[in-house]
A and B are shown apart, each in its own frame.
Chain A
Amino acid sequence: MIVIPEEFKIACLKEHRELKSPVMMLFAADERASAGTFALRCVFLDRKNKEWAIVQTNLPAEKPAFPSLSKDMYSSILFEREIKEMFGIEPVGGLDLRRLALHNEVWPEGYYPLRKDFKAPDRSGNTAEKFNFTKVEGEGIFEVPVGPVHAGIIGPGHFHFSCAGEPIINLEIRLGFTHKGTEKLFEGHSPAQKIGLSECIAGDSAFAHSFAYCTALEKINGISVPGRASYLRALFLELERMYNHANDIGGMATDVGFSFPAALASIIKEKILRLNDALCGSRYLKGINIPGGVAKDIDRKLVIEKIKPIVRDFNELKNILYSNVSFMDRVEGPGMLRKKTAEDLGITGLAARASGIGIDLRCLFSEVHTTCGFKPSVEETGDALARLTARINEFEESARLVNFIADYLPDGNLSSPAEANKQGSAIGCAEGWRGPVLYWVSVDNKGKLDRVKIVDPSFKNWAGLSFAVLGDIIPDFPLCNKSFDLSYSGGDL
């Protein structure tokens, strides 16, 4: 749906209310060369019709601006900040217009990287500017800044706690430390060349990202994926979920100082990584997806043989955790993310399902999953335990699906023949282990990528973490953080 700029806000709010969907994507594209305007698109999830609802408006090339949506629809706020810093398009009346990824300290004002006529500034760094953290004032309030370099082997982020006594009364998370200008790197290249880049958006979701990217390309070119390839993709997607969930469950045990199950979980993770390697030659499932299908076939007997001991180990892990009173006491309660808060922030994926929002793209867009009788795991309480339980349930469901698919795998081609790239645009999606990975891909009339917008679930879910820890104590923060387990790179792009 294309509307005039004045009606953009009303149209978006209407979709938001009718579809009961948060903003899934809100992004701009520089279409000044072809249409003389900046295009602004807002994407909602239409669960009933199993499709994406897009509201588009075209903004003038001179002084582009649009009325901010964030007061009426809070889930748009991060996207608006991103549009402002990347395109210089003003969300008029926005609640927060501070920069996200291009830090004030290093990037001078007035350089908008995603504009087509962007030229890098001559020098960066030492701009003498500062980031304004939210100030909490009052007697006895103290601040604890943490990061960007942390004590563990983990990505960089800055956590700014304001505490009164022990409880956290505000947490501001400043990210952007892993910003690499990824979206710009896609532009101007042939789509098939950049699959490798999509696998490096979030290294632990390599498959989900390349899957979503390839789905978008297939939609643009009108290619259908052969049955065997669809099943193989679903299988790899579940394997990726399994090794990451095992890693997270182990991480939560580590963060409460319970090292035995943590070690057991890392053994499970290593076993799955080795299975991945044996199946496709890549521990992180890279190099499998191609537009039109998959590049590699698997040995199904190997899957069935190897998954058995993994499931056995996982049952042991589950028993150890659930039967340990002190562990359960630690995970029950902290990191409470209420359903209303999650809805307002537009939290997606596993974190949303643990707070009672039962949306899983596998039920909506994956035929394979519906055929296999996939059941999403939804928890109601929204605390760290709910996310742990959701992960445990998803791991078990994934193991069942992997077994089922390996057993059932239909014969046929691995991919449809490649065709010349058509002009067009489409949304590709995949339910990765963190949540929905979304790609908007637009190809120009020369068959080159014009704009690629990526939304990793981490982008919005970080805000969920900063609300979830309120009222908890700092020693519980690592546990809460791990229960979300978000990607720095995926959020910062």
Chain B
Amino acid sequence: MFNILKNRLLKGVVTEKDKEIEALGTELKKQIFNKFGRAFSFREVDTGSCGACESEIISATNPIYDISRFGVHVAASPRHADALVITGPVSKNMLLALKDTYDAMPAPKYVITAGNCALNGGIFKDSYYVENGVGNILKVDAHIPGCPPTPTQIIISLLTFLKNL
């Protein structure tokens, strides 16, 4: 207990005061407030990614970036989600699970792809066991580029998506 308290007091607030992220985040918060009523929740589905995209999406929620302060939340169930964030080139084995997850979401619902693989298969393009990206299966509303996309890129792309909505 004492350790936690000491660490907490000495460290203070670690969240990034980077001007770029602050500015982007404030804008993001405004967009979410207007269009989704305080919070935008997404459910992440891995359709065969190598794991780096997941790692970076988790990084975006760490205390340094802390995207939840802008109103972006990760939902544990598709029933609670406004959007799906999909990574990976869509392995044939994940096709059914992906469609089921999408069907389980209440409308209005959006699909966002994260990482180069999810866009068109990326480095796994034209393999015998991938569907070459999410676009061949679901209607995609936005894309977060990168291999893997950085947390800053995730924030930028979410902002662009919300602005165009």
Contact = CB atoms under 8 A, between A and B. Distances in A.
Contact of A181 (B77, B78, B130, B150): B130
A184 B130 CA distance: 12
Given A106-B95, A156-B47, A181-B129, A200 B58 contact: no
A181 B49 contact: no
Q: In terms of DSSP, what is the predominant structure of the interface of chain A? A: loop
A247 B3 CA distance: 20
Contact of B4 (A124, A156, A284, A320): A320
Interface in A43-85: none
B52 A204 contact: yes
B92 interface: yes
Contacts of B77: 151
A488 B51 contact: yes
B46 interface: yes
B74 A113 contact: no
Interface string B97-108: 100110000000
Contact of B130 (A125, A180, A283): A180
Contact of A156 (B78, B92, B97, B130): B97
Contacts of B62: 263, 266-267, 269-270
Interface string B1-15: 001100110000010
Nearest to B63: A263
A184 B129 CA distance: 10
Interface residues of A, number: 58
Nearest to B6: A316
Contact of B3 (A102, A151, A179, A323): A323
B101 A203 contact: no
Interface string A143-168: 00000110111111000000000000
Contacts of B101: 149
A180 B63 contact: no
B58 A155 contact: no
A155 B46 contact: yes
A149 B97 contact: yes
Nearest to B122: A200
B50 interface: yes
A286 B50 CA distance: 13
B89 A264 contact: no
Contact of B92 (A124, A185, A201, A490): A124
23 contacts: A106-B93, A120-B128, A124-B92, A153-B58, A154-B46, A156-B48, A177-B93, A178-B48, A182-B127, A184-B127, A185-B123, A197-B123, A203-B54, A247-B55, A260-B8, A263-B63, A267-B63, A284-B52, A316-B7, A320-B7, A489-B50, A490-B51, A492-B48
Interface of B: 3-4, 7-8, 14, 44-59, 62-65, 74, 76-78, 88-89, 91-97, 100-101, 123-124, 127-130, 147-148, 150
Closest 5 CB pairs of A and B: A203-B52, A203-B50, A266-B62, A151-B76, A181-B127
